[in-house]
Amino acid sequence: MSGTSAILFADIAGSSRLYKEAGDNQARQLVATALEEMASVVTRLHGRVVKTIGDEIMAQFPSASPAIEAAIQIQRLRHASQPRLLARIGVHFGQTIEQGGDVFGEAVNDAAALVRIAKGGQIITSSDTVRTLGDRLKSQARRFDKIKLKGADESTVIYVIDWEQETTATEATQVMSAINDDTLTIPPGSLLELRYQDKRTSITPNQTPFIVGRDHGIAHLQVLSTVASRDHFRIEFRRGKFVLADNSTNGTWVQLEGQEPIYLRREEVPLTGPGVISVGQAINPDNPHLIRFSF
C-alpha cells in the first residue's frame, strides 16, 4: 500500500563509547531502556514503531507534526533521564510504501540520510516536512544546510528543530504570519551585513549563495576593482554558519577582528566576524574596495 507519511529515525548517540566505559551488560541495559522510552513516546503520539535496528528505532506517523512533536519529546526525555545518551533524529515526510509490516520509499531513504547528518541532541528535517507543519512547530525550524539527497537532481534546504525553545501559540502566529519556505525563522546572529563603499547589504541564510564580483550580470554585490574576478567569491550558509568560498584568480584576504589576515585561493573560511574582506590584494586600510562584515 502506498501513500504519504512521516518517517522518524532516532539513533542513540554515544552508545559505542558507553559500551567501552560501562561494560557490555550495563551498556546493553541502558540502551534498551533508552529505546523503550523512545518507543513509548512514539506510541503516545499515535505513531508506530516499524522496527528497531541495533540502537536505533524507525517510526512512522500519518503526518509531519506528530513526528516532529515526538522528536522534540524524545530529545527532552533523553536530556532529562540519560544525558550521556542523547538521540540523533532525522525526520522526513513524503511517499512511502507499506509491505508486510515494513515501510519503504522516498521518506524512508531521506529520513535515514538526515539522521546520519544529525549530531547527538539534534533533530534534522527537510523542507518538505517543515512546509506541512503548523505555525508553532515551524517557528522552531532553523535553516541548517543545503544538501543533495540521494536520487535528487537539485539540492534541498534542511532544517534543525530547536527542541529547547518554548513558543506560545500567540508568539508563533506573530512570527509565522506570512511564512513560506523562503522566510523561515532564522536564528539570532544569522543576519550578515556587508558594507562596501556607500552600500549596505544584509544577507539572510535564505539569500545564499550570495555572489560578490566584478560582473554586474553575475554578482549580487558588484566590486569595481581591477583585481576582482567576475565571480570573485560566494557567501553560503552551511551547518548554521556563513562561509566565504573564493572562486577568483587573484584570491581573497579575510581578517576577523583581533586576528591575522587569512589568504584564500579556491578555499573557504567561516565568517564568525566582525571583520574585513579584500578582493585580489592584501588588506590595506587605504583600499577603497574593502568589504566590511558584521552580524
Compute the distance between CA of residue 90 and CA of residue 157 in angstroms, rounded to an integer: 14
User: What average pLDDT does the structure give for the chain?
Assistant: 88
Residue 166 confidence class, pLDDT cut points 50, 70, 90: low
What's the chain's length in residues? Answer: 295
Domain's final residue, options 175, 204, 232: 175
Give pLDDT tens digits for 76-112: 998 888 777 889 999 999 999 999 999 999 999 999 9
Q: Per the structure, how many domains does the chain have?
A: 2
Task: List, in sequence order, every residue forming a beta bridge with 246; answer none if it has no partner.
Answer: 233
> Does 139 share its domain with 266?
no
Query: pTM for the complete prediction?
Result: 0.65
Residue 181 confidence class, pLDDT cut points 50, 70, 90: very low
Compute the distance between CA of residue 223 and CA of residue 62 in angstroms, rounded to an integer: 51
Mean pLDDT value across residues 120-132: 94
275 pLDDT above the threshold of 50: yes
> Does 22 share its domain with 100?
yes
> Does 202 share its domain with 265?
yes
Identify which has the larger pLDDT, 82 or 60: 60
Task: List, in sequence order, every residue forming a beta bridge with 102; answer none if it has no partner.
Answer: 99
CATH number at residue 236: 2.60.200.20
Q: Is residue 181 part of a domain?
A: no
Mean pLDDT value across residues 236-253: 91
Give pLDDT tens digits for 140-150: 898 888 888 87
Q: Containing domain of residue 158, as a range? A: 2-175
Compute the distance between CA of residue 218 and CA of residue 22 in angstroms, rounded to an integer: 57
Q: What is the 3-state secondary structure (H, E, C) of 214-251?
A: CCCCCCCEECCCCCCCCCCEEEEEECCEEEEEECCCCC
Mean pLDDT value across residues 276-282: 97
Nearest to 136 by CA among 84, 176, 185, 83: 176
For residue 274, is the peptide bond before it cis, meaning its omega torsion is within 30 degrees of 0? yes
Q: What is the 3-state secondary structure (H, E, C) of 193-217?
A: EEEECCEEEEECHHHCCEEEECCCC
> Does 247 share its domain with 122?
no
Give pLDDT tens digits for 255-268: 999 999 999 999 99
Report percent pLDDT > 90 for the chain: 63
pLDDT of residue 27: 83
Cα angle for residues 27, 117, 127 (degrees, 5° grid): 130
Q: What is the 3-state secondary structure (H, E, C) of 111-165?
A: HHHHHHHCCCCCEEEEHHHHHCCCHHHHCCEEEEEEECCCCCCCCEEEEEECCCC
User: Does residue 265 come out as left (phi exceeding 0), alpha (psi in the -120 to 50 range) or beta?
Assistant: beta
> Does 201 share its domain with 168?
no
Residue 167 confidence class, pLDDT cut points 50, 70, 90: very low
> Does 41 share its domain with 105?
yes
